[in-house]
Chain A
Amino acid sequence: MNSSGSVSGGCLPLAFLPEGTEGIVLEVQGGQGVTRHLEDMGFSSHARVKVLKSCPPGAMLVMVKDSRIALGRGMAMKILVKNIEE
């Protein structure tokens, strides 16, 4: 994983969250356009996300703020989350 150094332990890209688990968004990396787009769709920091479907290398389906969002792998790598146990 070549994520930036500012990231502390316990966080991982959303793409690596296994199906059925939940996480909290810590940071959205990438250009302003991408960040803005993702924030508008609900991926703002502290938002709770749940992975509904994940079938690598295809897209993943994530539940955030009560809506279902399909995310490409590339996009899911840009969202850093903290894995939380139920």
Chain B
Amino acid sequence: MSEYAENLRSAFAQRRYERIASIVDSTVIKGRGEIFTLTDMLDQVFLNKHLGIPIFLTVLWTMFQFAFAVSEPFVVIIEKIFEMLGAWSGQAISDPHLASFVSLGIFGGLGSVLVFIPPIFGLFLALSVLEDSGYMARAAFVMDRFMYRLGLHGRSFIPLMIGFGCNVPAIMATRSMDSEKDRMITMLINPLISCSARLPVYVLIAGALFGAAYAGTAIFAVYALGIVLAVATALIFRRTLFRGEPSPFVLELPPYAVPDASSSILHMWSRGRMFLKKAGTIIFGMTIIVWFLSTHPWEETSGGQVIAESYIAWIGHAIEPVFQPFGWDWMAAVALLFGLVAKEVVVGTYGVLLGAEEAGLGEALVSQELFTPLTGFAFMAFVLIYVPCVATIGAIAKETNSWRWPAFALVYQTALAFIVSGVIIAAGRLVGLS
């Protein structure tokens, strides 16, 4: 027993397992020989060398389908309710200033934020079901080989998946990683995973410019671009800022289980709550600021009617030159500026600027010829990459306990956005697109 004296802990672990074994031996009746459980059978398929990754991709696709298809009716209901509330309050309040504030600022703003709740909760529900069923750990196992090449490992994979829903809970999910370097890389590349808040921007631009036939492809291309960039930045960070091997990967794969409804919903809620908090505070506050800037000075804009005379137009024209090389006008400049706060605000800002409801927004974009397909795609890429939203910056600051890393994320992503969009525009013009 002297070998244990060196390491008391190891002796304890040993003893613990011996005790467990003796209890199990005296209480559990076990058939001798090979037992091929359901978990073994499922693992044979899900962890198969050739089938593992195709199955995983199918699951991923199904998850998105579920999240967006199931949430569609709820989105329509929320849109209609807020349209009605906006129209009603616009008429019922006699003071035009207050009416504009309530109908456009409050209900318009709230409505544009709340429509994201169904798809985000749908996505989180799907993720919870995958986690509780035991599949998520298998996905991490299957992807480990791929992740290792990126200088990460299977554990980084789950936070990246959650990033498709919202980067804030995704960054918090990196807490489960034990190596500081792995965790930093996972956090810093996470904003490149296109969260569901960016989707409405793609839907708007792609829907308007590429037509129903190609819109899906354009949106998929932006998602893919995000993943490719995340991979590339992970490789670069591993070689420069966070040198070293990825920490060893150990993960217990729980037996498969039928997910329990209440625990899956609880899981969904605990993640979705973070988005609700962000929506209720930062985004809502920001839409009110957008309302103020776009309807004031009250006299010059004749009561918020003429946007060209508003503060927002002044700001837009002031920063327009920065984006001119990309072929974007002052409205795009304003939309991007407000999108710093939360990217879904880009759509809302266009709504205010073009004075159109969400449904008619695409037509307004086309009729005013604000984008060509090329500049529109570059715009989508820019929205994907440039600065993570305020809530994500806050989450990185909180998790790293410093302002250095969020500042770094802000700078590197903005630089990357200018580079990538510039390359898209340059390449497009080279092959003769306008």
User: Residues of A with Cβ closer than 8 Å to B?
Assistant: 34-42, 44-47, 52-53, 55, 57-59, 61, 65, 67-75, 78
Contact = CB atoms under 8 A, between A and B. Distances in A.
B14 interface: yes
Interface stretch (B248-256, B316-324, B325-333, B393-401): B248-256
Interface stretch (B66-74, B139-147, B384-392): B139-147
A75 B47 contact: no
Given A35-B10, A44-B13, A47-B17, 5 more contacts: A42-B17, A58-B141, A59-B145, A72-B246, A72-B250
Contacts of B141: 58-59, 61, 70
A70 B17 contact: no
Contacts of A73: 148
A36 B178 CA distance: 14
B137 A70 contact: yes
Interface in B147-181: 148, 153-154
Contacts of A52: 40, 43
A60 to B, nearest CB: 9
Contacts of A40: 13
B14 A58 contact: no
Nearest to A71: B250
18 contacts: A36-B10, A39-B10, A44-B13, A55-B49, A58-B141, A58-B148, A59-B141, A59-B144, A61-B43, A61-B141, A61-B253, A68-B254, A72-B154, A73-B148, A74-B245, A74-B248, A75-B248, A75-B250
Given A39-B9, A44-B17, A45-B14, A70 B144 contact: yes
B143 to A, nearest CB: 9
User: Which among B9, B137, B246 has the highest number of chain A CB atoms within 10 Å?
Assistant: B9
B39 interface: yes
Given A55-B145, A59-B154, A61-B47, A68 B39 contact: yes
B45 to A, nearest CB: 12
A39 B47 contact: no
User: Which among B43, B250, B251 has the highest number of chain A CB atoms within 10 Å?
Assistant: B250
Contacts of A58: 141, 144-145, 148
A69 B10 contact: no
Contacts of A70: 137, 140-141, 144, 154, 249-253
B14 to A, nearest CB: 5
Contacts of B246: 72, 74
Contacts of B7: 35
User: Which among A55, A65, A67, A69 has the highest number of chain B CB atoms within 10 Å?
Assistant: A55
B233 to A, nearest CB: 22
Nearest to A35: B10
A57 B154 CA distance: 13
User: Which among A38, A41, A65, A74 has the highest number of chain B CB atoms within 10 Å?
Assistant: A74
A58 B142 CA distance: 8
B154 to A, nearest CB: 6
B86 to A, nearest CB: 52
Contacts of A75: 248-250
A2 to B, nearest CB: 16
A68 B254 CA distance: 7
Contacts of A61: 43, 47, 141, 253
B148 to A, nearest CB: 7
A52 B49 CA distance: 12
B13 A68 contact: no
B416 to A, nearest CB: 30
B20 to A, nearest CB: 8
B47 A53 contact: yes
